[in-house]
Amino acid sequence: MAASRVTPSARCATSSTPSPLRSEAARGAEGPGSGHGARNGFPWVESTRRSWADGHPHRAAVRRRRPDRCRAGGVPRRARLARRRRAASPCPGWTVLGLACHVLGDDLGSLARDRDRHFGTPPPADADTADAFADWLDDLNRQWVLALRRLSPRLTVDLLRTAGDELVSMFREDDPRAVTAHVSWASDDPVPRWLEHGRELTERWLHHQQVLEAVGWPSWLDPGMLEAVLETLRWAYPFALRGEGRPPGTTAEVTVTGDLERTWRLVSSGEGWRFAAPSAAGSAPVAAPAASMRLPADVAWRLLSNNLPGGRHEAIELRGEAGLGLALQRARAIIGRSNGP
């Protein structure tokens, strides 16, 4: 299913490979990166709460850009959205209502699994590779959305609201530092819960953008939310470079340009890659990276989530070692197969 190609949500087997996210948790990080979550004002439970309160696909398309417009204009806009429920989304073969049903499945599945500890549809034993797992998940999602065709758009919206409120309560009670989550595109090992919070936030924000595009409404690119999305998706980079063996100390850089400009520097340990701590003021100059990638923020989130149209790749600037640069460009925060570059 196309929607699951941009769905960063999977359970995976653990391995003995140390995860850089473990050390982040040990240092007490509350958000992605060394203090990025706290520094940028992203308490992750609260960010997720705001997303579910205002940013669910059924509400986001109604909300548009200003919160104060939601109450006054919500009824006619929601009616317009209901009329466009069969509009094709950027996910081939998926309509607006299909995406809403897919998100409802994610909401209910998260509650059943993480709140109630109910694992009703575990993956089969033969789904032991990334592609096999993605195919199984695609089929599971197709079955779910087909079953939900019996629901009216109004009932789908009501269930999304109820499930969203329950998810808010569940995440508020979470310990964000607990290393008990699994994010298959970031690590083979368990990771801190804050990364799962970020993944769930990002999942809904991405489908939100797809719904807005489908109905012809402006994208919701709130700077704070977009920054939270980027700070979540970036954790795909160290994992994507795990097959790129380089001498210890070799570095690679990703620079996001524009109003949200930032640079993520990765360093090789000889066995894997991790994010380097930001350079302190007055410290010695940092050596040039072996490879670097520069891209605008709008291209960065689309590329990492497998939503970048083919014609937009020319906005990506690669320098240095070609193989390492291409590995950065191929990083995806998704389950399934990449559509490029």
Q: Is the overall model pTM greater than 0.85, yes or no?
A: no
pLDDT band at 77 (very low <50, low <70, confident <90, very high): low
**Residues 222-269: pLDDT tens digits?**
888 899 999 999 999 999 999 999 999 999 999 999 999 999 999 999
Q: What is the mean pLDDT of residues 269-290?
A: 80
pLDDT of residue 260: 92
| Share of the chain residues as helix, strand and coil, in percent rounded to the nearest 5 | 50, 10, 40
Distance CA 75, CA 73 (A): 6
Mean of the per-residue pLDDT values of the chain: 76
**Residues 82-119: pLDDT tens digits?**
778 888 888 778 888 888 899 999 899 999 988 999 98
pLDDT band at 37 (very low <50, low <70, confident <90, very high): very low
pLDDT of residue 52: 32
> DSSP string of 5-74?
GG---------SSPPHHHHHHHTT-SSSSSSHHHHTT--HHHHHHHHHHH-SHHHHHHHTT-THHHHHHH
Q: What is the mean pLDDT of residues 200-219?
A: 88
Of 164, 203, 208, nearest in space to 65 by CA = 208
Question: Cβ distance 208 to 55 under 8 Å?
Answer: yes
Q: How far apart are the first and last CA of the chain?
A: 20
Question: Cβ distance 36 to 43 under 8 Å?
Answer: no
CATH topology (fold) of 78-231: Four Helix Bundle (Hemerythrin (Met), subunit A) (1.20.120)
Asked if the model's pLDDT at residue 79 lies above 80, the reply is: no
Could you tell me the residue ranges of all domains in the chain? 78-231, 235-278+287-330
* Cis amide bond preceding 341, omega within 30: yes
Q: What is the mean pLDDT of residues 112-139?
A: 83
pLDDT band at 16 (very low <50, low <70, confident <90, very high): very low
Percent of the chain whose pLDDT exceeds 70: 72
Asked if the model's pLDDT at residue 169 lies above 60, the reply is: yes
What is the 3-class SS of 104-128, one letter each residue? HHHHHHHHHHHHCCCCCCCCCCCCC
pLDDT band at 63 (very low <50, low <70, confident <90, very high): very low
Backbone angles phi, psi at 144, to 5 degrees: -65, -50
Q: How many CB atoms lie within 10 A of CB 87?
A: 15
pLDDT of residue 38: 32
- CATH for the 235-278+287-330 domain, from 3.40.440.10, 3.30.1050.10, 1.10.3720.10, 3.40.1790.10: 3.30.1050.10
Partners of 291 in beta bridges: 252, 320
